[in-house]
Structure 1
Amino acid sequence: MEHGQHSGMWVPAEPPTWGRMFLPHLDGWSVLAVLSLLGIAGYLAAMVVLRRSGVAWPWWRTAAWVTGCLALFAVTGTWLNGYSMVLFSVHMAQHMVLSMVAPLLLLVGSPVTLALRTLPRGRGLPGVPRALLLDALHSRVARFLSHPAFALPLFLASLYGVYFTPIFDVLMGDPFGHQFMLAHFVVTGLLFFGPILAQDPWPRTTGHAGRMLELLIPVPLHAFFGVAVMMAGSLVVQTFANPPAGWGVDVLADQNTAGSIAWSFGELPTLFVLAVVLFSWMGSEERTAKRLDRVALRTEDAELAAYNARLRAMAARSDGA
């Protein structure tokens, strides 16, 4: 496929089609594309080690992790990554996958739990990686990064702070800035959704009601961002002002499509997370109720035994009299 260069990144010369966008693009691989493939290999290796030790690991967690890594690769290791440099709509789809779809799938895979179960224990050198992971989970930095007062503003800043300021054009104009921005989207999604999904041990825990509140607060702000992009009468960012003339792209119409993607893309991920939290909440309430029932049953048995003992003692005293 013929290609040219745009802002330091290789992009195709032909207009995008579904067939072209998802062809592997070795020249345009980002760091995330490489990490996604390493992530699959590392996860599968850890799962094999765990199974050899006789511990089962849910297949659906493995499927979620692999799918999340493949989603990362699909938007950073194919021609889609090149098209995202010149078309706002393609970039916004990439952004939504990186910040909302891939993080959710990766979190459902519970990689921290898998690592803690797989890494060797002990005080010697083999136990150092596990000890470092536990220290990181309990560190003050981790508690700060996982706090909603940090994660929620960061999540919103990845929309308003990036696109409605000159930051976006600056980052897109530099290959390293572009790599940093893509990684920022993924990390932001992990920090925001991680404590809400609570599929792994996190430095800070929140009750189910608090987790639902954290999830729902940014929903209207996310939707408003998409609407604001859709309704803008001029270009929000200048990076996409000059697509190849032969493509016949209306940049304002493409920007409108980008806004509609941002507006609508948050619905399904939000509903998915909401369902996970609700089912977790109901399961927790059911377990609590069963535990209380067992305690009550044991207490009633003890009270009945004490009552019968008192009756036997009274009968004994009466016989003795």
Structure 2
Amino acid sequence: MTSSKSAPATAGPLRTRSVVPVVILLAVVAAAVVIPLSGMSTEVALALVGVPDPGVLTTAGLPAVRAMGELLAAVAVGTALFAAFFTPPQKDKTLDVDGYRSQRISSWANIAWAVAAALLIPLTLSDVSGRTFWESLPPDQWIVAINQIDVASSWRWAAVIALVAGIGQRLTLSWRWSVIWLGVSVLSLLPVAATGHASGSTAHDIATNSLIIHLFAAAFYVGGLVAVLAHTMRGGSRVALALRRYSVVATIAIIALGFSGIINALVRLHPADLFSSTYGLLVLAKALLLGLLAVFGLAMRRRIIAKIESKSANAPVDRGTLLRIGLVEAVVMAGTIGLSVSLGRTPPPAPLYVPTRQEALLGFELPGPFSFGTVLGLWRFDLVLGLAAVVLLSLYVWGLVTLHRRGDSWPVGRTVAWAFGCVLLFLTTSSGMGMYMMADFASHMVGHMLISMLVPVLLALGGPLTLALRALPAAGRGNPPGPREWIVEFINNPLSRFLTHPIVASVQFVAGFYIIYFGGFYEALASEHLGHMFMNVHFLISGYLFYWVIIGVDAAPRQFSPLYKLMVLLSSLPFHAFFGIMLMNYKTVLAENWYGGIGLPWIPDLLQSQQVGGGVAWAAGEIPLFIVMLALAWQWYQSDMRDARRGERQADRDDDAELKAYNEMLGEMSRSDRRG
């Protein structure tokens, strides 16, 4: 592979080992913090669970391996981020030397993270059963652990996803694929959210969502810093630009860490427990470390950037500055990771009351039957989709302000559509609707139809990609791609071209309904908070992809006439209607164990609730269909008007040559008829 012009002239062979001592140091720090802190509460935790001591290999090894695994996952994410977004691709869209080096580091980190996650399976079995680590190590015991222990199953999925990312990064050199492997690397952290106190506590929906945000933010913060340090140590180019971009990432990450940490503490701690319990003291220590990182890290990065820019845009940071500033910050963050893992091993204070069955299963309790009063009177902020709605609306407003300052206009209708879409997404997920969706099939289907059928229609009509392309500045020739270039690449790549084919978009949109509900997946998804969140995200993305193709005002990889889009839309309608009819006539209760376990007293007949949900699915397409038809008619009218104006301009340029030629043809035909 040839290097790009931006690479150093003396790049030389790959030197991925230059960062290995740094990663080892951070792993040692994380383990040194987590082992003694976890040991402080090990005896209490074993007594609460009622299992014998499994031995030091488990009591010390499990938290140490977990801390090192999470650190490796962070390194994998950060270096994958660097390869995808901090280095420019070559002309043939392959990674340059710096990007290739970062992706190689990410690959090895992902593989090591997969090994650590796999090792946590027998360690978890040993911890839960009280048997020694060696007794839990045989392969047949792994199968027992995966089948019977949810935490062990989560480690299985983390290992598989990380291994896929690590192998994939070894096999591809394309810059486009580097973005995909970054997404897969981030996804490997998702199962970790199901392995702590968050998944088993009251308000576990809020606790799990906040833990997801916490894990992702920590991975980008720590891993991004390690990637920048590795790049600087090997004499890479554009260090100032990399630090500027990382500083933006770190600022967002530290805010997310603080926000999610506060939410987690509020869920599991009473204020009086902060100073009177081991768990509370650990929370305070972690908050203090994060505060120091926020002040120290951001201030020092500004000094480093200013020092580089005062010399040259490509001037490297000297090793002394790197060790004094970057390593100190990384070591503190590694210690914070160890502290976080020890929190997961420390029993939180006992709750002040015994939770009800609903609270144990849902994380909250519903006050009464589904109604407009209960839906609008209950509010429970969804930290994933509710926060996404707020962020999406804020970014859209930023784009409008940018255009306004530049003197550019933007259609009011698009703004109204986007605002209504974001507000509706927020109401569906963060009002009482989001709460009832988890406990009642009919309510779930109402929310499902809103998220998959109505919200995507409004978002597609908002034209967010067009607004972003007009508002964002270009990265500049030779620089790593910025957000504007990423959007252009998102639109113009083979995968988007495939997914936006009307047939593919229709099939993925419709088939998802049948596969989830009739393919045997619904009970597993409905009974887990992560599964419920997956369904909501899937419905939103698949719906947006479909309506982007049908009525979207943004540029798309494929262009079709309004008539063709109308035919695709009408051809998909029977499948939506048939899905609702199947639900109304289905005699088997979906997720019966889950809904029966919740036992809502106002829903004595689960099958009837399911039939009502089928009726909702059958009838819910009317309002979105009306909006889509209006949008298609308007787009059709605009297309005809553009063609007419284009014809008029052409006629003005050539003095109606086409019309005169047509009239002459008719006259010649008439004369031929008379002669005949």
User: TM-score, with normalisation over the residues of structure 2?
Assistant: 0.42
Write the mapping of 1:137-286 to structure 2, written as runs, cut at 5 A.
137-238=491-592, 239-286=594-641
Alignment partners' CA distance in 2, 1:156 and 1:248:
29
Kindly indicate whether the alpha-carbon contact (under 8 Å) linking 1:155 and 1:189 is maintained by their aligned counterparts in 2: yes
Partner of residue 461, structure 2: 108
Kindly indicate whether the alpha-carbon contact (under 8 Å) linking 1:23 and 1:79 is maintained by their aligned counterparts in 2: yes
Structure 1's 128 and 245: CA in aligned 2 closer, same or farther, altered over 3 A? Answer: closer
Shift in Å, 1:97: 0.5
1:89 alignment partner, one of 442, 449, 462: 442
Alignment partners' CA distance in 2, 1:213 and 1:267:
17
Alignment partners' CA distance in 2, 1:84 and 1:116:
36
Kindly indicate whether the alpha-carbon contact (under 8 Å) linking 1:68 and 1:105 is maintained by their aligned counterparts in 2: yes
Shift in Å, 1:8: 4.8
Partner of residue 315, structure 1: none
Structure 1's 275 and 233: CA in aligned 2 closer, same or farther, altered over 3 A? Answer: same
Alignment partners' CA distance in 1, 2:591 and 2:528:
15
Partner of residue 388, structure 2: 35
Partner of residue 486, structure 2: 132
Kindly indicate whether the alpha-carbon contact (under 8 Å) linking 1:142 and 1:203 is maintained by their aligned counterparts in 2: yes
Kindly indicate whether the alpha-carbon contact (under 8 Å) linking 1:25 and 1:78 is maintained by their aligned counterparts in 2: yes
Kindly indicate whether the alpha-carbon contact (under 8 Å) linking 1:30 and 1:179 is maintained by their aligned counterparts in 2: no
Alignment partners' CA distance in 2, 1:102 and 1:68:
5
Q: 2:359 is paired with a residue of what secondary structure?
A: strand
Shift in Å, 1:141: 1.6
Write the mapping of 1:66-81 to structure 2, written as runs, cut at 5 A.
66-81=419-434
Structure 1's 297 and 171: CA in aligned 2 closer, same or farther, altered over 3 A? Answer: same
Q: 1:22 is paired with a residue of what secondary structure?
A: helix
Kindly indicate whether the alpha-carbon contact (under 8 Å) linking 2:473 and 2:484 is maintained by their aligned counterparts in 1: yes
Kindly indicate whether the alpha-carbon contact (under 8 Å) linking 1:230 and 1:259 is maintained by their aligned counterparts in 2: yes
Residue type at the aligned position of 1:260? G
Structure 2 gap segments, 5+ residues each: 1-354, 659-676
Structure 1's 140 and 23: CA in aligned 2 closer, same or farther, altered over 3 A? Answer: farther
Structure 1's 66 and 289: CA in aligned 2 closer, same or farther, altered over 3 A? Answer: closer
Shift in Å, 1:127: 6.6
Residue type at the aligned position of 2:505? A
Partner of residue 299, structure 1: 654
Structure 1's 180 and 301: CA in aligned 2 closer, same or farther, altered over 3 A? Answer: closer
Q: 1:247 is paired with a residue of what secondary structure?
A: coil
Partner of residue 48, structure 1: 401
Kindly indicate whether the alpha-carbon contact (under 8 Å) linking 1:9 and 1:85 is maintained by their aligned counterparts in 2: no
Alignment partners' CA distance in 1, 2:517 and 2:360:
19
Residue type at the aligned position of 2:382? W
Structure 1's 227 and 301: CA in aligned 2 closer, same or farther, altered over 3 A? Answer: closer
Alignment partners' CA distance in 1, 2:428 and 2:657:
63
Alignment partners' CA distance in 2, 1:224 and 1:102:
22
Kindly indicate whether the alpha-carbon contact (under 8 Å) linking 1:163 and 1:237 is maintained by their aligned counterparts in 2: no
Structure 1's 118 and 33: CA in aligned 2 closer, same or farther, altered over 3 A? Answer: same
Structure 1's 282 and 68: CA in aligned 2 closer, same or farther, altered over 3 A? Answer: same
Alignment partners' CA distance in 2, 1:138 and 1:257:
42
Shift in Å, 1:65: 1.1
Kindly indicate whether the alpha-carbon contact (under 8 Å) linking 2:513 and 2:579 is maintained by their aligned counterparts in 1: yes
Residue type at the aligned position of 1:262? A
Structure 1's 247 and 135: CA in aligned 2 closer, same or farther, altered over 3 A? Answer: same
- Post-superposition Cα deviations, 1:121-143, rounded to whole Å, max 9, x if no partner, equal 24166972111211121111211
Alignment partners' CA distance in 1, 2:552 and 2:425:
21
Q: 2:482 is paired with a residue of what secondary structure?
A: helix
Write the mapping of 1:6-21 to structure 2, written as runs, cut at 5 A.
7-21=361-375
Shift in Å, 1:73: 1.0
Shift in Å, 1:12: 1.5
- Post-superposition Cα deviations, 1:135-189, rounded to whole Å, max 9, x if no partner, equal 1211112112212232211111221111112211111122112111100000010
Shift in Å, 1:300: 3.6
Q: Which of structures 1 and 2 has the larger relative contact order (alpha carbons within 8 angstroms, sep 6+)?
A: 1
Q: 1:233 is paired with a residue of what secondary structure?
A: coil
Shift in Å, 1:284: 1.4
Kindly indicate whether the alpha-carbon contact (under 8 Å) linking 2:370 and 2:443 is maintained by their aligned counterparts in 1: no
Shift in Å, 1:292: 2.1
Residue type at the aligned position of 2:629? L
Identity of aligned residues (%): 33
Shift in Å, 1:281: 1.6
Kindly indicate whether the alpha-carbon contact (under 8 Å) linking 1:234 and 1:252 is maintained by their aligned counterparts in 2: yes
Q: How many residues align?
A: 301
Structure 1's 198 and 107: CA in aligned 2 closer, same or farther, altered over 3 A? Answer: closer
Residue type at the aligned position of 1:186? L
Residue type at the aligned position of 1:10? F
Shift in Å, 1:30: 4.5
Shift in Å, 1:287: 2.6
Kindly indicate whether the alpha-carbon contact (under 8 Å) linking 1:22 and 1:79 is maintained by their aligned counterparts in 2: yes
Structure 1 gap segments, 5+ residues each: 304-321
